[in-house]
Structure 1
Amino acid sequence: MQLDSGAVAEGRVTRVTDFGAFIQFDNGETGLVHISQIAHSFVRNIHDHVHEGDTVDVKVLGRDERGRLDLSIKELLEEPEEIPRPRAIGRQSPQFEAKLRSFMRDAKERTTAGGKKPTTPTKRKK
């Protein structure tokens, strides 16, 4: 079996890490599906998508400078009309923002020491 760029092949997941899944093929070659190539949506935990021992279809994207296979599962999936984005964090409460502004203003006043730069102690010669 020749695994050239653009080829689609079936392989077995041999190892899952935080950054991707390693896939082994019948010919003995192994490649990596990077976490960004697992799904069209944001993948927070790769273990939600693949597990060791799973059989998956992958597309060969190419080889890196050291000859290792660069693979994708996402390329074989139908692209959704709108890619879901991670949920944004809402605004902080007005009380928190007021306290933060007060803290920053006080910190700035303390560091400028009334407009003067803080001095550092000098060593005396003996």
Structure 2
Amino acid sequence: MSIEVGSKVQGKVTGITHFGAFVELPGGSTGLVHISEVADNYVKDIKDHLTVGDEVLVKVLNVEKDGKIGLSIRKAVDQPSSQSHSNQHRDNHRHNRMNDRAKESFESKMNRFLKDSEDRLSSLKRNTESKRGGRGARRG
């Protein structure tokens, strides 16, 4: 069976690394699902989503000339049908309000980060100057 770009096939997870999972496809060929293609949300540890021996549906993203096959689990899942216009408008409005709150939160986080960073930097400068023989160094 030849593997074609865009096709969806069932495969079995044969190995897991920190950067992705190897999936054995029908016909004995093996492809890689990069960690960014496992789920729609951020995946910190792939072992939270997959284990060796799992049967997964994957979409073939690319087939290189050297035989490497790029796969995606998240693109193999069918997206839900589009929402009605009124529902979509309401969800967009809700999304915009959430973004406004996130921006405020981001600004306060950024200000706190800058303050902490400046405090740490000044403390670090004080400690290194005394060790390098700058002002206030001990003589002995």
| Fold agreement, TM-score > 0.5 | yes
Query: Highest Rg: 1 or 2?
Result: 1
Q: CA deviation at 1:109?
A: 5.5
Counterpart of 2:76 in structure 1 is: 76
Q: Cα deviation per residue 1:8-35 (whole Å; 9 max; x = unaligned)?
A: 1001111111111111122011000010
Counterpart of 1:24 in structure 2 is: 24
Identical residues among aligned pairs (%): 35
Query: Size of the alignment, in residue pairs?
Result: 106
Counterpart of 1:48 in structure 2 is: 48
Cα gap change, 1:103 to 1:14, in 2 (>3 Å): same
Cα gap change, 1:18 to 1:102, in 2 (>3 Å): closer
Q: Cα deviation per residue 1:73-112 (whole Å; 9 max; x = unaligned)?
A: 0112338x88xxxxx8x546x7x66752541452575569
Instruction: Name the SS of the counterpart of 1:26 in structure 2.
Output: coil
In the alignment, structure 2 segments of 5+ residues that lack a partner are 81-90, 96-105, 136-140
Counterpart of 2:100 in structure 1 is: none
Q: CA deviation at 1:44?
A: 0.6
In the alignment, structure 1 segments of 5+ residues that lack a partner are 83-87, 115-126
- Distance in 2, matches of 1:102 and 1:113, equals 15
Alignment of 1:31-110 (within 5 A): 31-77=31-77, 78=79, 91=112, 99-106=119-126
Cα gap change, 1:105 to 1:72, in 2 (>3 Å): same
Counterpart of 2:99 in structure 1 is: none
Counterpart of 1:122 in structure 2 is: none
Counterpart of 2:86 in structure 1 is: none
Q: Cα deviation per residue 1:30-58 (whole Å; 9 max; x = unaligned)?
A: 00001011011100110111111111000
Q: Which amino acid aligns with 1:35?
A: I
